[in-house]
Structure 1
């Protein structure tokens, strides 16, 4: 695909002199700018703060796709997402999903149970840190039939990242008040909405409620994210053998025998 400079300049010109833009308006401007550079199927923008339920700022999904990519994601699976963990680390820049994913991510139960439902071949995210410990991630997605981004396309997007970051910090600042409202307004919501708005805090107690130790919980969290025993050992500075012993103990405590059952139990206790 050739860069459409006229479309790029036209989209950028729409922001000149604008002190503020609504979520949908700026999201559409971002989409138009990126579409002038590369082809893609979907755009979604999430804001993350700590373990709190992420806020969806903009997306281009249809109603059925929105359920999988947004509603279901916000209900708990985001806690196992490589993009979420990168956002929590406050990293900035443009990254491919496969750069950030743990070594066993694409064979993990999370990937088989949730991520394959998206039908994506690849996802590239712009990670922008803003105020109040918030990171905004703007994702460009391609479905399997479209295929992954080429090296040339990815390099072009990386070159555009400084401009994207500058615009995001200008038009999507002050999001802390929305996260605060998401927590403080729970009594006015339905029971289901109240539950999903505090998924992050519930995640801290899931394993404790199931009588796992802090060490066991740390290991199992990493396993569900897609880390191999070797990778878990490196991250926690323990031997691979110790990791495997803890995993066997956890399975025995929970009365399960597979990662499928482990993920099911995790998501059930979140909700």
Structure 2
């Protein structure tokens, strides 16, 4: 079998296709990363060359091959209590404002996207349990979503490396995790508190199902998007939020540079972005 290669034109065609489907833009510096995974899939599907594989990918009505590629091409690196100051802001400032404006007893809904392997969503649960006394009085629903189906399966399993839990206080590690060999299994109490789902923020059909949230965590995802995709994601979050709801972005991200839909709010712990309340 001849050696499989990816030409400059092949890379450009694939990059444009993948961007249209996911909003993720690969820079030229990612050529080796992308080429390696494309060649792997060409070999696994017996496509023989990029042209045959790309034809199959474009006309695969099931979407299974694209999902496999998404799982291979997306980066999932996080850890528990990452950017902890935003969790502090959640329990000290945001939730109090949210419940003051609730006109009924509907649950407080929190959306974590991308879910990665679940560390962020489970960190939210731990922070609520440990630092928000009003949790006894309110029902809280936590949805965590990702475009990568393999990482969602990993999140539902709740098994983590020592690196993932390295920033957790010792008492919380002991309270909520069980050591299994060199890994840590999260407690069933936390596993049952999060619903993990698949979503593509660039697919209007996907995001239409996500509505009535009070708080969204979307940290370090928009850095992988270009300006057009960022605006599309911002609009999806705006539609998903209740009036007065909040978005927490990563420390290097700013909604004001993306969209004018949100109001910047400065709290003692963090700067967040708020959907304007209806008068």
Superposition TM-score, scaled by structure 1 size: 0.24
Structure number with higher strand proportion: 2
Higher relative contact order (CA 8 A, sep 6+): 1
Superposition TM-score, scaled by structure 2 size: 0.23
Structure number with higher helix proportion: 1
